[in-house]
Amino acid sequence: MIGRDVLDAALRAAIAEGEAALETGDVPVGAVVLDADGAVLGTGRNEREATGDPTAHAEVLALRAAARARGEWRLGGCTLVVTLEPCTMCAGATVLSRVDRLVYGARDAKAGAAGSVWDAVRDPRLNHRPEVVPPDLVPRELSDRCSDLLSRFFARRRIR
């Protein structure tokens, strides 16, 4: 089992990825995939604006990078750490990649698919359901940073 300090470091790295997404005007979401020992296999940040790709969400890009690093699409034993609760597409990718655990820092009350609006990752009809670690089980300082990053981004967009 990956220790709390490793998970916290991964969430900090995901926050840094999210901050980097700001440079391209993308929604500041970042993701990191850890292997069973806590080593980073892949990272990603939202790149929809940067690439014009509607599927270029942080989670999808991090899962793709992890699959390349591992040499296969099955990511059993891995943990996906992301700043924002996955949408339905990313929740589906999480399930289909077979990651064992999903950790996220902020809830998404409009599009969250890991318990807020939908619970696609824990649907009992699926053959794989990762453990979910929601924001209330993440250190408050880190969940606040995830939420604040998104709040500041959207506040600036509303002012324009």
How many angstroms separate the CA atoms of 81 and 99, rounded?
A: 11
Would you say residue 57 lies in a domain? yes
Would you say residue 108 lies in a domain? yes
Would you say residue 160 lies in a domain? no
Q: Is 90 annotated as a binding residue?
A: yes
The confidence band for 160, taking pLDDT boundaries of 50, 70 and 90, is low
How many angstroms separate the CA atoms of 141 and 2, rounded?
A: 20
How many angstroms separate the CA atoms of 46 and 23, rounded?
A: 11
Q: Is 78 annotated as a binding residue?
A: no
| 159 to 146, 149, 154: CA distances (angstroms) | 21, 16, 9
Would you say residue 41 lies in a domain? yes
pTM, whole model, 2 decimals? 0.96
Would you say residue 159 lies in a domain? no
Domain count, the chain: 1
Residue 82: CATH number of its domain: 3.40.140.10
Instruction: For residue 105, give its domain range.
Output: 2-153
Above 90 in pLDDT, residue 81? yes
The SS3 call for residue 134 is coil
pLDDT tens per residue, range 60-72: 999 999 999 999 9
Helix (H) or strand (E) holding 8, with range, is helix 4-21
Q: How much is the pLDDT for 156?
A: 82
Calculate the CA 92 to chain-centre distance.
Answer: 12
pLDDT tens per residue, range 98-151: 999 999 999 999 999 999 999 999 999 999 999 999 999 999 999 999 999 999
The catalytic site residues sit at: 59
Would you say residue 158 lies in a domain? no
